[in-house]
Chains A and B, each alone.
Chain A
Amino acid sequence: MTDPAIVHGVEWTIKELFVYPNEFIYWSIQIVMYPYMTGLVAGAFVLSSLYHVFGQKDLKEIAQFSLVFSLALLPVAALPLLLHLQQPLRAMEPLLTPHFTSAIAAFGIVFTAYGLIVVSEIWFVYRKYFVEQAQALKNQPGLLASLKYSVYLALTMGAFDVSEDAIKVDKKAAKVLAAVGIPVACFLHGYAGFIFGSVKANALWMSPLMPVIFIMSAVVSGIALCMLTYIVIMEWQAFRQRRSGGTTEATEIKGAEVDIITKSTRYLLGFLVAAISLELLDLIFRGYTAMKSWDILRSVMYGKDFMNIFVLQYTLGNLVPFILLILPGRTMKRTVLALLLVLFGVFMMRWNVVIGGQAFSLSFSGYMHYHIPIIPHSLETFKEGLFGALTVIVTPFVLFWIINNFVPSLRRDLGGN
Chain B
Amino acid sequence: MTCSRRQFLKEAVGGTLASTLPLSAFVFLSPAEAKAAVDEAKVRWAFLVDTNKCTGCGLCVTACKTENEVPFDSPVTRTWVERYVVTKDGETHIDSPLGGRDGFIDDKIRGEEIDPENIAKAFFVPKLCNQCDNPACVQVCPVGATYQTHDGVVLIDREWCIGCGYCIMACPYGVRFFHPEHKVADKCNFCYHRITKGMPPACVECCSFDARRIANLEDPDDPVTKIILTERVAVLKDEYGTKPHVFYLGLDANVR
Contact of A21 with B181 in the complex, beta carbons under 8 Å: no
- Taking beta carbons and an 8 Å cutoff, which residues of B are in contact with A? 71, 73-77, 80, 82, 92, 94-96, 98-99, 110, 127, 136, 138-145, 160-166, 168-178, 180-181, 183-184, 239-241, 256
Q: How large is the interface on A (under 10, 10 to 19, 20 to 34, 35 or more residues)?
A: 35 or more
**A201 CB within 8 Å of chain B:** yes
What is the bound-complex CA distance between A364 and B174, given in angstroms?
Answer: 12
Chosen A-B contacts, 26 in total, with CB atoms closer than 8 Å, are: A4-B181, A5-B71, A5-B74, A7-B76, A22-B80, A86-B164, A87-B162, A87-B163, A87-B184, A97-B160, A101-B139, A102-B140, A102-B141, A102-B142, A103-B140, A104-B164, A199-B170, A200-B172, A201-B169, A201-B171, A201-B172, A201-B240, A292-B239, A361-B174, A363-B174, A365-B92
Which of A88-96, A208-216, A262-270, A404-412 is the contact stretch?
A: A88-96
Interface flags, A178-203, vs B, CB<8A=1, else 0 = 00000000000000000100111110
Contacts of A4 in B (CB 8 A): 180-181
Interface centre among A201, A292, A364 (most CB of B within 10 A): A201
Nearest opposing residue in chain A for B160, CB measure: A93
What is the bound-complex CA distance between A26 and B166, given in angstroms?
Answer: 9
Nearest opposing residue in chain A for B185, CB measure: A86
Report the 5 A-B pairs with minimum CB-CB distance, sorted nearest first.
Answer: A86-B163, A20-B174, A104-B142, A99-B144, A363-B256
**A27 CB within 8 Å of chain B:** yes
Give, as a whole number of angstroms, the nearest-CB distance from B15 to chain A.
30
Interface flags, A349-370, vs B, CB<8A=1, else 0 = 0000000000001111100000
Contact of A99 with B94 in the complex, beta carbons under 8 Å: no
Contact of A90 with B169 in the complex, beta carbons under 8 Å: no
Contacts of A6 in B (CB 8 A): 180
What is the bound-complex CA distance between A73 and B96, given in angstroms?
Answer: 45
Contacts of A27 in B (CB 8 A): 165, 169
Nearest opposing residue in chain B for A99, CB measure: B144
Contact of B160 with A18 in the complex, beta carbons under 8 Å: no
Contact of B178 with A8 in the complex, beta carbons under 8 Å: yes
Contact of A104 with B140 in the complex, beta carbons under 8 Å: yes
Q: Beyond A7-B177, A94-B162, list 13 extra A-B contacts (CB 8 Å).
A: A7-B76, A8-B183, A18-B110, A20-B80, A27-B165, A87-B161, A90-B143, A90-B161, A93-B143, A97-B144, A102-B140, A201-B172, A365-B256
Contacts of A361 in B (CB 8 A): 174
Interface flags, A1-33, vs B, CB<8A=1, else 0 = 000111111100000011011111011000000
Contacts of B98 in A (CB 8 A): 21
A-B contact count (CB 8 A): 146
Contact of B181 with A5 in the complex, beta carbons under 8 Å: yes
Taking a contact as CB atoms closer than 8 A, the residue among B110, B142, B173, B178 that contacts A26 in the complex is B178
What is the bound-complex CA distance between A6 and B99, given in angstroms?
Answer: 17
Are A86 and B75 CB-contacts (below 8 A) given A21-B99, A201-B170? no
Contact of B177 with A102 in the complex, beta carbons under 8 Å: no
What is the bound-complex CA distance between A9 and B183, given in angstroms?
Answer: 12
Nearest opposing residue in chain B for A26, CB measure: B165
Which chain A residues numbered 68 to 87 have a C-beta less than 8 Å away from chain B?
A: 81, 84-87
Contacts of A400 in B (CB 8 A): none
Taking a contact as CB atoms closer than 8 A, the residue among B138, B142, B143, B165 that contacts A86 in the complex is B165
What is the bound-complex CA distance between A94 and B144, given in angstroms?
Answer: 9
Contact of B256 with A7 in the complex, beta carbons under 8 Å: no
What is the bound-complex CA distance between A118 and B183, given in angstroms?
Answer: 35
Grouping DSSP codes into helix (H, G, I), strand (E, B) and loop, the B interface class, with mixed when no group exceeds half, is: loop
Contact of B184 with A101 in the complex, beta carbons under 8 Å: no
What is the bound-complex CA distance between A362 and B174, given in angstroms?
Answer: 7
Contact of A86 with B178 in the complex, beta carbons under 8 Å: yes
Nearest opposing residue in chain B for A195, CB measure: B166
Contacts of B127 in A (CB 8 A): 20
Contacts of A98 in B (CB 8 A): 142-143
Contact of A90 with B256 in the complex, beta carbons under 8 Å: no
Nearest opposing residue in chain B for A107, CB measure: B142
Give, as a whole number of angstroms, the nearest-CB distance from A204 to chain B.
12
Contact of A99 with B141 in the complex, beta carbons under 8 Å: yes
What is the bound-complex CA distance between A24 and B256, given in angstroms?
Answer: 17
Give, as a whole number of angstroms, the nearest-CB distance from B142 to chain A.
4
Contact of B74 with A102 in the complex, beta carbons under 8 Å: no
**A273 CB within 8 Å of chain B:** no
**A386 CB within 8 Å of chain B:** no
What is the bound-complex CA distance between A200 and B169, given in angstroms?
Answer: 9
What is the bound-complex CA distance between A87 and B186, given in angstroms?
Answer: 14
**A105 CB within 8 Å of chain B:** yes
Are A202 and B169 CB-contacts (below 8 A) given A5-B180, A10-B75, A86-B184? yes
Contacts of A292 in B (CB 8 A): 239
Contact of B173 with A362 in the complex, beta carbons under 8 Å: yes
Nearest opposing residue in chain B for A87, CB measure: B163
Taking a contact as CB atoms closer than 8 A, the residue among A7, A21, A200, A364 that contacts B178 in the complex is A7
Contact of B75 with A7 in the complex, beta carbons under 8 Å: yes
Nearest opposing residue in chain B for A97, CB measure: B143
Nearest opposing residue in chain A for B163, CB measure: A86
Nearest opposing residue in chain A for B183, CB measure: A86
Give, as a whole number of angstroms, the nearest-CB distance from B197 to chain A.
27
Give, as a whole number of angstroms, the nearest-CB distance from A233 to chain B.
36
Nearest opposing residue in chain A for B173, CB measure: A362
Contacts of B180 in A (CB 8 A): 4-8
Are A90 and B160 CB-contacts (below 8 A) given A5-B180, A23-B174? yes
Contacts of A198 in B (CB 8 A): 140
